[in-house]
Amino acid sequence: MELLGNPSELGTERPSFGSDDGPGSGRALGEKAQQTTDIQNLRSAESENIQNLRSAESENIQNLRSTESENIQNLRSAESENIQNLRSAESENIQNLRSTESENIQNLRSAENENIQNLRSIESENIQNLRSIKSENIQNLRSIESENIQNLRSIKSENIQNLRSIEIKEGLNYAILWRLAWRRCSSRLEGGALLLFSSHASEGQQARRCCSLASDEGALFEELNNPAQHPDHGGAQAQSTHDFTKMPILRQSGHSSWERDSASKR
């Protein structure tokens, strides 16, 4: 904005109204008129400057409003673009997450199926191993059972043999006892005592009864233990000449198999 005129230069050329310098002279009136003109010019220039300032201010305001509106539009457009970009990125991320989730689910299912197959394979292998161990244990138990049965049969056979041997020895002992008791009683007792002795129930009781009747039980058993030294047996020669088959067999006895054998021989 340009101001109209220079106040310092206004009124430089003043008209001359005479040489009188008094208040009512022409010079004084001319200066007053010039001052009034200068004031008018200043006011006109000030009014023009104010108009120019207001016009410039209004233009600036319009420019600012236009710029502000443009900036607002640009911001709204950028905001809308950013929102679109964010939505697009969000949608893409969601798609990626869903794809990753689906892939993870597939991997988990595949791993689960593989684990199930492995567990089934291990279970089947364990079942086969258990069956094999069971079969092996059954075979071992049967073998042990068969071996135990064989051992029991062997022990039973051995025990039977031992019992038979003991029974034979017992029969021989009874034979010796019978022989000694019979000879002792037959040489010392009367017929009634012999009848009582021979009708007694068991061999042991018969022998003890015979010894009691003979009143020589100690001598009888000493003779049983040392038959070769007893005079009634004829010394060492009598030890090998015993004929046990000639011993009387009582009707009510029958404890030993030797008696049955000797009875059959008779």
Give the DSSP H or E segment for 1: none
AA letter at 238:
A
Q: Position of tokens 């042991």?
A: 204
Average pLDDT rounded to a whole number, residues 171-175: 71
Q: What pLDDT does 96 receive?
A: 95
| Structure confidence by residue, pLDDT tens digits, 13-34 | 444 444 455 555 678 888 888 8
| Structure confidence by residue, pLDDT tens digits, 202-216 | 555 555 555 554 444
CA angle, corner 31, sides to 30 and 33, nearest 5? 65
pLDDT band at 163, cuts 50/70/90?
A: confident
Return the number of other C-beta atoms located less than 10 Å from residue 227's C-beta. 19
Q: What is the pTM of this model?
A: 0.35
Lowest mean pLDDT among 129-143, 152-166, 183-197, 247-261: 247-261
Q: Retrieve residue 161's tokens.
A: 């043999």
3-class SS of residue 68:
helix
